Structure 1
Amino acid sequence: MSRSPIFTSLFSRLMFFFLVVMLIPVSVLGFSYLTTGRHAIINNLSGQSETNLERAALRLTQLIEGYRHKAYTISTNEDIIAVLENDEPQSMQQGMTRIYEQLFSIMKGDTYLATASIVSATGRVRLSTHLFPDQYDLRYQGNDTNPFFDLSRAGVDTASTITMRNRYVTQNNVFVFLNILRKVRNNSGDVLGYVAVDIFQDSISALPRGLGFSDLLLIDTENYAAYSLIHMDMHGDFSHFPELGSITFPLEAGSYVSESNIVSLIPIANTQLFLAGVTDTTMYQRNIDGYVAMILLVLAMGTILAGVLAYFFSRSIARPIDSLARSMHKVETGNLETRVAESDIWEISQLERSFNTMVKQITTLMDLTREEEAKLQEAERKALEAQLNPHFLYNTLNTVKAIAKLHHEEDILLITTKLGKLLRNAIDNRDAETSLQESFALVDSYLTIQKIRFGAKLNTVVELEDSIATTKTPKLIIQPLVENALIHGLEPKIGNWRLTIKAYRDLSDIVISVADNGIGFPDHLQYDTLFEPESHNHVGLYNIHRRLKLRYGDGAGLVIDSAKDEGTIVTIRIPLEDVSSSTKETE
């Protein structure tokens, strides 16, 4: 009574054991992934980072807008405009004390967090709540160093700019972090000078506190530079901040995740600045690694348990496998009568049936092979006999040549001599390659015969460059092209025939061309089909093309350029390096 393969198959037994062994570790793995998956952690951290970054951006925006308003107030103060319009040194002006009082009044409460400086367009008038910065002294600044140059070139609508390009350390050893520059105009709109409100580092030192960022960066998109608000000594281009490697320009608000960091971006309103919050995910990654280690431990325990169970299970299938192995060894020694009995395990019984079928097929194939070998020997015998025929023809031509010479038949003597050379070259199979000089000699023999046949009607030009005369190329790649040109191109043409055969060096290639003024190829003919084995009417072209590809690869080729009733040019191009290496090997 046959058993159902569902209960006796190897698959069903393996499935049972694997379910028992892997159920616990797979459950633990799935639970760990669902509860502490990296994806959920990253999403949570990204959302928290973006929320905190919005708080930091709000603080920075409020700070900038406050100082921007102070710069606006200074630039619109009538007394300050009058001083700049007079453009006289401070020592010569009246009421400078009142100007300074107004300046300090506007900056009240911020004199330790920022400095306000005023300079006329000529640099003659210079005012500041602190010691006037040297870089704002326009008397000694050219266009390339003038801090107000970009602002002065801006349009009428641009009254102020915010930049971090003019960072400097004051003489009181206070670090200036941010600059707000603004034009001062009179009622006519003329630029009288500039206001610079320089924000000290201390004013923004409290900005990152309580936000949980490992670093908070201020990015200047115009200068492609970044400045750390936590590590104040770190600033420069993006190469100084590897954590910015995951972001791309143009910058957009959002979070960018890398292997060890989350970088969140948000623009600062009405500026070219972006705020970037960097969250270090290393600690969270270590937690995930801990879960992975636990999963690996469970998998290791499951593997050990699976090994114990597999040991007992393998004993149930060892016997039929061993029997099959012994039978295979007998077949290896040549005993093709070997057969195996089928076991009660369904998969193994399939294997045993396949083995028996294979042995039968091997026996059949062996019989066919012996039959093919007999046929091959017969074909070789016939080929050896066929080789005698060309030699007989060659010897017969020698006899005709001797008789022609005896009777002074010069044309017959010349034809038989040249035909003998052609035939000798055709039956000489010792070398697969020959020199271009020998190939052209073969072409000369062929053309000599054809000139006797066609007379003055056939005009030929044969040119071989001396530098490549000894270069080796495959045999019989030129003469068939000449024969094709004569038979298919010139013979159907009425009038004089012109046939040109050339071989020359073109840079790193050898070029062989056969040109005629014959009837050309028909318009409907596609040249690519001439190089296909199915093109029975152009066996010679296919043969040459195929041998060139086999010998030189894609570096060589055969190109046909033909025009109806005008002629055809067939060009062979061979890489000189491949030809040189072939010549050396032959030598």
Structure 2
Amino acid sequence: MSLRNRLVEPFEKIHYKKIQVIITFSFLTLTIGMVVLVSIMLYNKFSKSAEDNAYLNIGQIIDQVNTNLEFYVSGMKDIFEVVQDNIANSHDISGVQLHEQLSTILNTRKDLVSIALFTEDGQLVHNTPQISMRPNSMLTKQGWFENAKQHPGVLQFSAPHIENLFKQPYRWVVSMSKKIEYYEQGREQAGILMVDINFKTIDELSKRVSLGKKGYVYIIDGLGNIVYHPQQQLIYAGLKYENLESVLNYAYGTYVDESTGEERIITIKTVEPTGWRVVGVTYADETMTTRKDLGSFMIWFLLIVLIIVLIVSVFVSYKISKPLRVLERSVKKVEDGDFGAIIDVSGAYEVEQLSKRFNLMIRRIRELMDQIVKEQEGKRKGELEVLHAQINPHFLYNTLNSVTRLAEMGRKEEVVTTITSLSKFFRISLSKGKHVITLEDELEHVRNYLIIQKIRFKNKFRYEIDAQVEALSCMTLKLILQPLVENAIHHGIEMMVDEGFIGIYAWIEQDELFLRVTDNGLGMTEERVAKVLSNEGHLSGRGSGVGVRNVQERIGLYYGNAYGLTFESELEEGTTVTIRLPIIRAVDQGGDL
């Protein structure tokens, strides 16, 4: 059988109580539940890890930008301190030596634009390179100048602006300023030192950062002024909005911002010592792409697993249930009457054991059927023997011969008694074809037999019949007492010199019916008793034709082997035969047995 047929066959006739269906759906349900549970756990774990990794990656990028800026600012700060030291160590601000020193410093760094020293009221003291100032520059109103005056001794960094002090090309610069002491013509003076840095370097450091397709980095100062923004022109034009108020609340950290209508992840770091804030903006839909991809993967993975599990569960359940279906078909054959079906089922241990027990059961059934057939044959044989006994010609001949002799002798009363007893004897023997009669009829039958035999044997014996009144209505097989009485006459009393005695008794004891036939005849040895039970002791042609063994077999067939005859006999003492039967009342008799 091909794999396709194996997979299709179970679904041709689906019954929800079939073991194959139960195994398939149980295995499928358990597997689906486990796969779904594991998938959810893995999805949550991986998506959380992906989200944490995304945050960590963003943080690392912002840290790197912050580190680069701090490193650059630290370098600029060192240059400022070198310039400040050169000016402080010069005894004449206008000396040629100082000018050469500052020019050397300026020429060593391409990102240095200019160095200038002003008095507190805004007068130019010295500048490198030596370029004329522009008129109306409003020097004292510029932020870097005011901040330096307000915070003496503290280095100040300005926001990016266009350098407009000197007559040179306009450039975007960041101004470092600080109130310092200097010497002019031997006198110590207070002034404002300014060093302009080309903003292009800071711009390039920030532009190198990539935070996804839409993410970016911008820089603001401590007052919320934008130092750098990749879309600065849009900001100034009012076409783009940044929620700077929230940013100013954080020096470090990460939070989610939805002020622009989109979910954005804001990561902030502060650049020391400038106080600038490096702000990383990442869009959540890009950050969560990994979660979406993972979710799609999990869905496809689950579908593939379900298909595989379905195929495997159907195949496995088919293999498990196949021997059971073979066993089912064998049982169906037995149900249809075929007891020759011997199965050889291979499979699981339990199935093999079940098939073995099934074969043993079939063999036992066949044995029981053969036994029943034999018993029925024995039963029919016994019934035929009883029927034959009912019309035994030898018994009838002997009785009629006795009647003839009695008539010739003129003993009319005995003739009438014999004929009347013979008539009643045969009437009860026939019993309208019934095999079970009341104990009362059975005792009447044996009484008529004793009357005939007593006349025939010329009063050679006497008899006694005694039965409990409650026992008379019990049902019993017919012709079970007469063979015992016949056996007592022919084997026990006929050869005696003294008068014989035959006693017949019936009583109920412990819900059982007991019948007893006793005589004072010659008795029997154990070997003789065995022969009588084997029917070898039956004298064919002289009695009724029903042997003692026949009585035993009939009782066993009708009532079971627990019931039957018990012999007690001693030589010269007599013989006692006891019959044990179950109590069956006439109302319990559902019909003839």
Band the TM-score falls in, shorter-chain normalisation: 0.3 to 0.5
Larger radius of gyration: 2
TM-score normalised to structure 2 length: 0.38
**TM-score for the superposition, normalised by structure 1:** 0.38
